[in-house]
Structure 1
Amino acid sequence: MIKIGLTGWGDHPSIYRSNAAKRDRLFDYSGHFPIVEVDTSFYAIPSVQNIEKWIFGTPDTFQFIVKAYQGMTGHLRDDNPYETRNDMFEAFRQCAQAFQKANKLAMILVQFPPWFDCAAKNVQYLRYIKQQLVDFPIAIEFRNQTWYSKERRQETLRFLRELGTIHTVCDEPQAGVGSVPFVLEATSKKALVRIHGRNVFGWRNSGSTENWREVRFLYDYNEDELTDLAEKIKKLESQCQEVYVLFNNNSGHHAAKNAKTLQQMLRIDYEGLSPKQLDLFEGEF
């Protein structure tokens, strides 16, 4: 089974009703896609109260991919608001448990920064992450290509299998050590594909600009590129039971359009979505 969605639900104007309030965007989103990445949890661990609103505002079969808090992955540059590492992980576990109890947790996405390379201390930290989140499905996303070097690629995949973690396949610009190749292999019953765009210039230079997020993920996949992705995703599906696909190329609001096109190419028709007024969306995709 292939499930397609986007990273976040708050900035995709083409799928909202024209008169919809901001608080209704998740409901509108869930009329189009069966999964979503909770990206706000990277910046601050959401309260159970907010999570319950998201849970009750979406269909029974809707699922969330919850991104790990930045303090857990080594991204945090400011002071950690939690007194101890244990406090931080406990707060995140409570967040994940709220989704899990409602049977709406697809997985936790643990995305590491570009400086998290294939070194012994980082291998040990992966074990620590697994230990701290042992009750949850965990997807690992690397941003440093040393994990996929010719000498270490198979060892990396074998290690993810041994840990019982989900391999995140990334489609992104090939722009040096801070990017990873497209490695089409599953390491568990689930696989995650995150589609970041192919803006090489933005990927290399985004850190030097104030609006780096807008530059980094500014990319619109063409039909040939999406056709190629569709074929690869079908191959990945043959290796596991479920493939989750997330489009993250939304700087120019291209993610929803590209996701819809991929869905059409794969001839997928999702059931159990939130109701929507079809006449408002005719011709959008």
Structure 2
Amino acid sequence: MIRIGLTSYKEHDKLTGKPNNTLYEYAGFLPFVELDTAYYGIPRKSSVENWIEEVPHSFRFVVKVYQGISGQGKWQDYYTSEAEMFTRFLEAMEPMIQSGKLYCFLIQFPSTFKCTKENVMYLKRLRAYFGELPIAIELRDFSWYSEKFLKGTRDFMMQQQFSLAIIDEPQLLNTTVPFDSFVTNSAFTLLRLHGRNANGWQSNDADWRKKRTLYRYNEQELYELAETIKRLQGQTKEIGIIFNNNSGGDAAENALALKKILDITYDDLNPAQIDLF
């Protein structure tokens, strides 16, 4: 199955006609979303329960894990040990796991996470902590994809049953990662589409986050992505596509356009509007 969705459910006015959506409203249009809430802090279990209650049975979540897990936050300020951090995270996510609505946990590493023995060992610890749960890994340093390490990266991801996320982002020599449409997990694959704004990607001013994802995929680019997705269907059971080009409000329209190109219909969605009677 191919699932198409967006990063966050709130800010897509091109989807619902509203500047700020509820999850229930979002789930009337698309069956798939990436939640970044848990990245900033481990949520209450009650919040997770509310998320899964607002969506239909077939809806699936990509949950971006807590930043302490991906090395982008100082977990030592909040937890006494690495093990406690993982335990607290998984306890909070238990309702999501038990509901069957978890597509995968996304662990997005920063560009400082390079291909080293130490980091490979950390990835092995991650698998031990998460057990058999579905994990997608996003790497942001080119070293993992270099000629020297690419085969080892792919083989390792397959051995650990990680889905190495397929990333679309600007191609800047040795400073970004390539669009590597190689499947490392036959059960599920995750594509994250950040856009191709090369100038914005390199911005380091106060608005760098907005500039990075300020991009609209054109029709030709969407057709090219669709061809890749069709090819992947024979290699993996589930395909999840997340548009992260949110800054200019382009993600929702690009997602709906790709859905049309792939001739996909989603039947089990929330009612798009509540009838008066």
Do both proteins adopt the same fold according to a TM-score greater than 0.5, normalized to the shorter chain?
yes
Tell me the residue number matched to 2:104. Answer: 107
| Aligned mates of 2:45, 2:128 — CA distance in 1 | 23
2: CA distance, partners of 1:56 / 1:17: 23
Q: Which residue of 2 aligns with 1:266?
A: 262
Q: List aligned pairs for 1:1-285, cutoff 5 A.
A: 1-16=1-16, 18=18, 25-76=22-73, 80-188=77-185, 189-205=187-203, 208-277=204-273
Q: Hey, what's the Cα distance between the residues in 2 that align with 1:82 and 1:5?
A: 33
CA–CA distance in structure 2, aligned partners of residues 80 and 231 of structure 1: 46
Is the contact made by 2:48 and 2:93 (CA closer than 8 Å) also made in structure 1? no
Unaligned runs of 5+ in 2: none
Aligned to 1:281: none
TM-score of the two chains, using structure 2 as the length reference = 0.94
Match of 1:282 in 2: none
In the alignment, is the contact (CA less than 8 A) between 2:45 and 2:93 conserved in 1?
Answer: no
- Aligned partner of 1:8: which letter? S
SS at match of 2:3: strand
- Letter of the 2:9 partner, please give it: W
**Paired residue secondary structure (1:73):** coil
CA RMSD of superposed structures (Å): 1.7
Q: How far, CA to CA, are the matches of 2:107 and 2:205 in structure 1?
A: 25
- Counterpart of 1:271, as a letter, is D
Cα distance, 1:176 vs structure 2: 4.1
Residues 62 and 103, structure 2, Cα contact 8 Å, conserved in 1: yes
Q: Residue in 2 aligned with 1:283? A: none
Query: In structure 2, the residue corresponding to 1:98 is in which secondary structure?
Result: helix
Task: Quote how far apart the aligned CAs of 1:171 are.
Answer: 0.3
Is the Cα contact below 8 Å between 1:194 and 1:246 reproduced in 2?
A: yes
Cα deviation code 1:131-156 (max 9, x no counterpart): 11114111111001111111221211
Using the size of structure 1 for normalisation, the TM-score is: 0.92
In the TM superposition, residue 5 of structure 1 has moved relative to its aligned partner by: 0.4
Output the CA distance in 1 between the equivalents of 2:36 and 2:175: 20
CA distance in 2 between partners of 1:233 and 1:110 (Å): 22
Cα pair distance change 1:78/1:45, threshold 3 Å: closer
Q: Which moved more, 1:38-47 or 1:256-265?
A: 38-47
SS at match of 1:92: helix
Q: Which amino acid aligns with 2:7?
A: T
Aligned-pair identity (%): 40
Count how many residue pairs are aligned between Structure 1 and Structure 2.
273
CA distance in 2, matches of 1:90, 1:127: 17
* Change in CA separation of 1:221 and 1:275 when aligned onto 2, cut-off 3 Å: same
Distance in 2 separating the partners of 1:54 and 1:145: 35
Partner-residue secondary structure (3-state), 2:170? coil
8 Å Cα contact 1:110/1:138 also seen in 2: yes
